[in-house]
Structure 1
């Protein structure tokens, strides 16, 4: 699973995609986040977009929000590589209307199938199956603040995270759906990454920014321990 920022590298996303697939080999599968906060009026991205608008303008903006369609909805906030993978012929995309993942390779259908529409990134999401497979994660010129695997750790903390309401627009008819799930919070992910044991991480650099690779399972387990300790201290 790759999170990437290609800005400033001069590398085309197709070139990076092909290099990653070559490194994985014919039996490997490449997965990227294909999140779509743009179709939700409860997302942080939406709140930023409507900041300063009056009630009438907010209603007008909401009426024009594009519904999620897994076959066509782009994922612009996830970066050029994620959108490149999503649009590559043969790519598979999970079904969640806000936090889908996209993949290429022989295990993509198996890993991305069954993403429950009321579970962002927990036990009924592809992240749980990637954990079971002990997938490698590559942070390509980005830090742990965007590492989606740590959201799986959030679901597994003791006590579990609080829950909140999410809402988004889906389907060709533009139906609004509302559901409850864990209140996800990535504000401490960078700090969690800093505290990980160094022997879990392989660090390099590309085009002036850090690159980090690691196995998912041990990092998620350590993050669960960290987040559970933090929760107990704050309680």
Structure 2
């Protein structure tokens, strides 16, 4: 599973995609986050968009928000590599209307299938399947603050996270769904990354910024321990 920022590298996303696929070999599967916060009126992206607007303007924006279609909805906020993987012929995308993942390779359908529409990134999501598969995570010129794998740890903390209502528009225009799921909070992820045992991480550098690779299982397990121990915050 790869999170990447290619800005400033001068390297085309297709070149990076192909290099990763070559490194994985014929039996490997490449997975990227393909999130779409733009189709939700409960997302941080939407709250930023409507800040300072009156109720009429808010209603107008909500009425024109594009529905989620796994085959066509772009994931541009996830970066150029994620969108490149999503649009590559043969790619597979999970069904969640807000926090889908996309993948290429022989296990993509298995890993990304059965993404329950009421579970962002917990036990009924591809993150749990990736954990079971002992997947590796690559942070390519990005930090732990955007490491989606750590959201699985949130679901596994004790006590469990609070829950809230989410809404998003799917399929036909105006078809909104509403559901409850865990409150996702990535504000502690950078601190979790700083406190991980160094032996769990392989560190390199590319184009002037850090690159980190690690096995998902031990890092998620350690994140569960940290988040449970410091439930009030890691600052």
TM-score, normalisation: structure 2: 0.98
In the aligned structure 1, how far is the partner of 2:223 from the partner of 2:196? 8
Which segment is superposed worse, 171-180 or 115-124? 171-180
The runs of at least 4 consecutive aligned structure 1 residues that moved more than 2 Å come to none
Is 1:124 the counterpart of 2:107? The answer is no
In the aligned structure 1, how far is the partner of 2:232 from the partner of 2:179? 27
Is 1:42 the counterpart of 2:42? The answer is yes
In the aligned structure 2, how far is the partner of 1:174 from the partner of 1:30? 33
SS class of match (1:89): coil
User: What is the match of residue 63 of structure 1?
Assistant: 63
SS class of match (2:31): strand
CA contact (8 A) 1:34 1:82 kept: yes
User: What is the match of residue 230 of structure 1?
Assistant: 230
In the aligned structure 2, how far is the partner of 1:232 from the partner of 1:90? 43
Displacement of 1:231 after TM fit? 1.5
Structure 2 runs not aligned, ≥5 long? none
- Deviation string for 1:4-53 (max 9, x for gaps)? 00000000000000000000001100000000000000000000011111
User: What is the match of residue 77 of structure 1?
Assistant: 77
How many residue pairs are counted as aligned between the two chains?
234
In the aligned structure 2, how far is the partner of 1:233 from the partner of 1:32? 28
User: What is the match of residue 24 of structure 2?
Assistant: 24
User: What is the match of residue 183 of structure 2?
Assistant: 183
SS class of match (2:81): helix
Alignment CA distance shift 1:168-1:213 (3 Å)? same
Superposition pairs for residues 127-206 of structure 1, below 5 Å? 127-206=127-206
CA RMSD of aligned residues (A): 1.0
TM-score, normalisation: structure 1: 0.98
SS class of match (1:3): strand
Structure 1 runs not aligned, ≥5 long? none
SS class of match (1:130): helix
SS class of match (1:77): helix
